[in-house]
Amino acid sequence: MRNIYRLIAVAVCLLAASCGRNATPVYLDDRKPLEKRVEDALSRMTLDEKIAMIHAQSKFSSPGVPRLGIPEVWCTDGPHGIREEVFWDEWKGAGWTNDLCTAFPALTCLAASWDPEMSAIYGKAIGEEARYRNKNVLLGPGVNIYRTPLNGRNFEYMGEDPYLASVMVVPYIQNVQKQGVATCVKHFALNNQEFHRHDVDVTVSDRALYEIYLPAFKAAVEEGKAWSIMGSYNLWDGEHCCHNHRLLVDILRGEWNFDGAVISDWGGVSDTRQSLENGLDLEFGTWTDGLARNSGGSDAYNNYYMANPLKRMIESGEGDEAKVDDKVRNILRLIFRTTMDRNRPYGSFATEEHAEVSRRIAENGIVLLKNDNEVLPLLPDSVSKILVVGENATRKMTKGGGSSSLKVKYEVLPLDGLKNVYGEEKIIYMKGYSSDADEKVETLDELKAAAAECDAVLFFGGLNKKKTQDSEGRDRLEFGLPYGQDAVIEALSEANPRLAAVIISGNAVAMDWAAKVPAIVEGWYLGSEAGNALANVLSGKVNPSGKLPFTYYAKLEDCGAHAFGEESYPGITPAGDTDAAIYAADIPTEQMAKKIFKQRYCEDIFVGYRWTDLYNLEPTFPFGHGLSYTTFEYSNMRLDKNSMRANGRIKVSADIRNTGKVRGAEVVQLYVGDNEASVERPIRELKGFRKVFLDPNEKTTVEFVIDRSALQYFDAEQHCWMVETGTFTASIGSSSRDLRCKAEFELR
């Protein structure tokens, strides 16, 4: 039995035939053109059926049309794994025993791989898991830009650069949707903080909007062909993004020709008329009526903005039913592309193959930030005793963090991964610090004494998924490490020179101790195979090849979003306050007087490395940075200038050689800068990258093509992309600050 809904539909058709009605509805035949199927189904629906289809009936589903054999829409949280089943009207887990999923690495780790192949296998595997659980909408991936390291949800996104995010998101989408599951790309748009995310009203220049914050969404729609988009909670220019006319009607549908469904974030809708007129298709809610806690009632979902209130508006003549029809069309396309596709694969769930995919992505994304004196790798034969310190060596990271929290089949912890590689007898573990203020742990003197007796020390720290760290709903309160970790790291550095600090996080953290620690690793949230992946990299079984997808600032004030006061982050109320006391006390928004936080993106287009480059600020680690256990030589950069004059495209190439002793991968990065711009532009911008794997002494040529799109900027007054003639600089290197080759070219 492939699809119960198809059987129901057949039965409905047979019944219709017995009554002398049309027995072969076009919408049931997926060999017919999609738009004919959509129009045929729509023509048979009543107003009540249309209204029912455009809002939720449970926490994660919306109704189909049983009379016509049109199935429900079933969503699942992502983007790092398939959420456990919950009760119909509750967030509480339903207690199933067959919904333990594979946890895949956080999307920051995927972005850090700088490898579209990793994105493709990620999408295929998570799409198979969603399909097996019969979900037809995966709520992800996320592509909001990393504007501030305090954003609690950065770990779900793909970094600070629009080009990197654009390239990495497309294979994910394509390969999820090959499994008959729609991606729901989120959160559209400008959802770049969790602080009062429902109430912050963003003002941003059109130039920054189009150059920084929209490109990854545009790529998701135009190249990835995403079948759905999720609106965000925040406001933009006074209008909530879940029903923002310019965002959803003018840009998404008008400029990008999006033909999928726009789905609200849960509880992100606030007005019936705007929902009708401004491009929202499907309303979901956090509570049973989408509006407030504890309202309950068997017909609570009928109180949604796009439920009975909208029906009354249509019946009274105050609203246009044709706009409802448009919403239904978009939802029908979604259903026909997924659940009602007869060629939809079966999927698979929590398999060994998926575990291997998770581990491969993790290994490709781990970033070696520093490695003085070749402290790493710790070859198993070179050590007899390793001291492992830190709560994050034994803390599960697949749970918590909000909607990305998972119920997993298993999770290999870092300490267990190390024991798998080195043997349990070589590992000594001390907690060193605790996230529980009441728990007593070892003193610094005890840690130093133990460290002095070992061949090497591995410190596992960073952040976790608690509120005010890496978590949905709250931003971080500080840039530094919590729980007194700095003092522990400094003590260990005094006791043993063979120290490596492994930071588990989805965000950059302050590292005032960086000069004292010879080896530093960014370990991300790595999913089910976290411990094995980390152990493989630390032991040298896997050569690290990840690169940072965001800037590791030396101090918070070096981030452009934090250089202009509270108007820029986190926003101010009309009275001029930030409600810091309410925020720190974690008082729910619905229990406080409604306040809109006005926020202006004062740094404009200068986000991340664009800002540090502009003001020549020295980051702890720059965008694109990541070391290897081998070394690479760049040489012989070449530009085919004739091609630019002939067709507006220029070929750029350079030779890359592995000059070390082990096989490794290098991410070769291309940056382009406009030397003669009439408007202020970044000094350089990422416009290409390639990940190449080389044996010792092996050489390859990496080639890029620069076209006019790589040279353009957005002209807000004319509302179009502009390319100016003049001289440009192309740079190729290992990071945004480690540029090995440069050459100029002219556009005339």
* Strands 427-430 and 650-658, bridge-based pairing: unpaired
CA angle 107, 111, 117 (to 5 degrees): 105
The CA distance from 592 to 580, in Å, is 13
Per DSSP bridges, beta strands 61-62 and 73-77 are antiparallel
Q: What are phi and psi of 412, to 5 degrees?
A: -80, 115
518 prior amide bond cis, ω within 30: no
Among the listed residues 152, 157, 234, 160, the one whose alpha carbon sits nearest the alpha carbon of residue 478: 152
Q: How far apart (Å, rounded) are the C-alpha atoms in residues 2 and 227?
A: 22
Separation CA 637–CA 691 (nearest Å): 17
Distances (CA, A) of 116 to 141, 365, 411: 14, 12, 25
CA 500: distance to chain centroid?
28
Give me 732's structure tokens: 């190729």
Task: Count the helix, strand and coil residues of the chain and give each as a percent rounded to the nearest 5.
Answer: 35, 20, 45
Distance between CA atoms of residues 519 and 461, nearest Å: 14
Burial code (b: 16+ CB inside 10 Å, e: under 16) for 254-274 equals eebebbbbbbbbbbbbbbbeb
The three-state secondary structure class of 367 is: strand
User: What is the signed CA dihedral for 99, 295, 327, 218, rounded to 10 degrees?
Assistant: -60
Distance CA 260, CA 231 (A): 13
Helix residue spans in 30-115 (DSSP H): 34-43, 47-53, 107-113
What's 336-361 look like in SS3?
Answer: HHCCCCCCCCCCCCCCHHHHHHHHHH
Of 99, 265, 486, 674, the active-site residue reads 265
Which residue type, as a one-letter code, is found at position 715?
D
3 state DSSP class of 14: helix
Contact (Cβ atoms closer than 8 angstroms) between residue 538 and residue 417: no
CB of 454 closer than 8 Å to CB of 448: no
203: nearest Cα among 232, 237, 160, 163: 237
The amino acid at residue 17 is A
Could you give the CA distance from residue 378 to residue 701 in angstroms, rounded to a whole number? 32
Q: Is 265 a catalytic residue?
A: yes
Q: What is the β-pairing status of strands 499-504 and 519-522?
A: parallel
Q: Which of 12, 25, 35, 697 is nearest to 329 (CA)?
A: 35
Q: Are 460 and 526 in contact (CB under 8 A)?
A: no
Retrieve residue 297's tokens: 């009632």
Pair of tokens at residue 255: 């400029």
Which residues touch 117 (CB under 8 Å, ≥6 apart)?
Answer: 171
Length of the chain equals 748
Positions marked catalytic: 265
